[in-house]
Chains A and B, each alone.
Chain A
Amino acid sequence: MVTTCVAGLFVGAILAIQINLQLKDFGAQSFLGGLSTSTTIRNLGPVLIAFLLAGRVGAFSSAELGTMAITDQLNAIRCLGLNPLSVIIMPRLVALTISSFLLLVLGLGLTVFGGIIISSVSLKVNPLQFISHIPQFVSGVSIFIGVLKSFLFGIIIGTISCFVGYQTTGGAEEVGKAVRRTAVVTLVSIIVTDFLVSFVVESISQLLMG
């Protein structure tokens, strides 16, 4: 939670600073609120926060399940006549997906505040002016895309960390490798999914508009 809040605030602030640099050259700083919020919600916000969650939640879950696998805890569950997939993995997968999604949405909300704070404190943009331009650039579709990506990233983080952790065999070294594999596969999957969603939504928009 703390990680997500801090990340959300700073991601919003960073993007506001970067976009302000471009807008300043054209004297269009009044559009800062709309443009930075739109970019944050649609693209970079979900991706950057998902990266942090993948590192924190995904790696933790993968290491925990990997340790359970190599210390025979999962086998012990099997030997009690239970299926670890249904009693350990599925509940964890659902919980991870839902919590990652909620944290991502919270983080996205905080990116807007991060943008407002840095704009008013450092960039000398009136907070009211910042907020007033948001509806011009941030449509319902933008919010939907941000939320959809958050949902998909939540599924990716939950699924990959559980799957890779569950498949771990061997010793402590293999747990380390499982965590590394989780991090790499999750990050690449997030980037690819981000691209695919953006591409598909853009294509649909083009079709509808013209």
Chain B
Amino acid sequence: MLELKAISKTFGNRAVLRSVSLTLNRGQICFVLGRSGVGKSVLLKTIVGLIPQDSGEVWIQSEKTDPQNEEQMVSVRQKCGLVFQMPALLDSLTLQENLEFGLKPEKLARLGKYLDWVQLSRERLSRYPAEVSFGTQKKASVVRTLLREPQFILFDEPTTGLDPVSRQVTNQMIRNVVKESHSGCIVVSHDVQSAIELASTIILLDQGQVIFQGTPESFCSSEQPLARAFCNGMVLLDH
């Protein structure tokens, strides 16, 4: 289980996260929605210790994490993988070398399966990140994390910048991750439609606070103004 207890984070005078709590079991998908700049990405980076929280606790599989303890965080990050919003591949390595970087050779056995999940062809793996499209880089970045087989995967806006077909492929990939690997996923996104299709739980953040937490059904019927605005936006887009 991954559990956040009252996480708060301030940058200067600006409170980015205010007492955010959530619980995620393996096999569940939690979508974190919210407008730009409300602290969604900071929340993910806090979980893996890239940005230490000011107060609150992160528990992963009954172990409290300590962002100051780099040795422990290495082990935490093996359990909890983060797929960045930007692909963050190493420029000087080919896609194949990026996937193999620091990976135990036996874990490469599942490469074919994960490439199929994101619909990335093997021929492209010999290219450098600068030689392929943003979408291909993003797919490679997802596969890089999947190959580590973490118990929890944190996706930071996985469908941003992708065409509608790639968005569906990404959504199917997240389903596969949960179904076959039984991992838990936290997905930070603006994509309400994907959230309603995939999520076990939706969390809506505004000004660093959780203003809604519940199932997709209750999100769509919520009277909370921002939740309604998100759902109406989706309806408008659909039409």
The dominant DSSP class at the A interface is helix
The answer to whether A75 and B88 touch (CB under 8 A), given A80-B144, A81-B148, is: yes
B75: CB under 8 A from chain A? yes
Which of B48, B86, B90 contacts A79 (CB under 8 A)?
A: B48
> Which residues of chain B have C-beta atoms less than 8 A from A71's C-beta?
86, 88
Give CA–CA (A77, B145) in the complex, Å. 10
Whether A75 lies near B84 (C-beta < 8 A) is: yes
Whether B101 lies near A80 (C-beta < 8 A) is: yes
Which of B78, B86, B90, B145 has its CB near the most chain A CB atoms (within 10 A)? B90
A56: CB under 8 A from chain B? no
Interface size on B, residues (CB 8 A): 24
Contact flags A55-97 to B (C-beta < 8 A → 1, else 0): 0000000000001100111011111111100010000000000
Give CA–CA (A73, B148) in the complex, Å. 17
Whether B74 lies near A82 (C-beta < 8 A) is: yes
Q: How far is the CB of A171 from chain B (nearest CB, A)?
A: 13
Give CA–CA (A79, B48) in the complex, Å. 7
Whether B74 lies near A79 (C-beta < 8 A) is: no
> Which residues of chain A have C-beta atoms less than 8 A from B86's C-beta?
71-72
Whether A79 lies near B50 (C-beta < 8 A) is: yes
Closest to B48 in A: A79
Whether A72 lies near B102 (C-beta < 8 A) is: no
Interface size on A, residues (CB 8 A): 15
Give CA–CA (A16, B161) in the complex, Å. 61
> Which residues of chain A have C-beta atoms less than 8 A from B88's C-beta?
71-73, 75-76
Q: How far is the CB of B161 from chain A (nearest CB, A)?
A: 15
> Which residues of chain A have C-beta atoms less than 8 A from B75's C-beta?
81
Contact flags B150-163 to A (C-beta < 8 A → 1, else 0): 00000000000000
Contact flags B62-82 to A (C-beta < 8 A → 1, else 0): 000000001001110110011
> Which residues of chain A have C-beta atoms less than 8 A from B103's C-beta?
80
> Which residues of chain B have C-beta atoms less than 8 A from A76's C-beta?
82, 84, 88-90, 141, 144
Enumerate the 6 nearest inter-chain pairs by beta-carbon distance, A residue then B residue, closest first. A81-B78, A76-B88, A72-B88, A79-B82, A82-B102, A81-B77
Known: A71-B86, A77-B102, A82-B101. 14 other contacts (CB 8 A): A68-B90, A71-B88, A72-B86, A73-B88, A73-B91, A76-B84, A76-B144, A77-B90, A78-B48, A79-B84, A80-B101, A81-B75, A81-B77, A81-B148
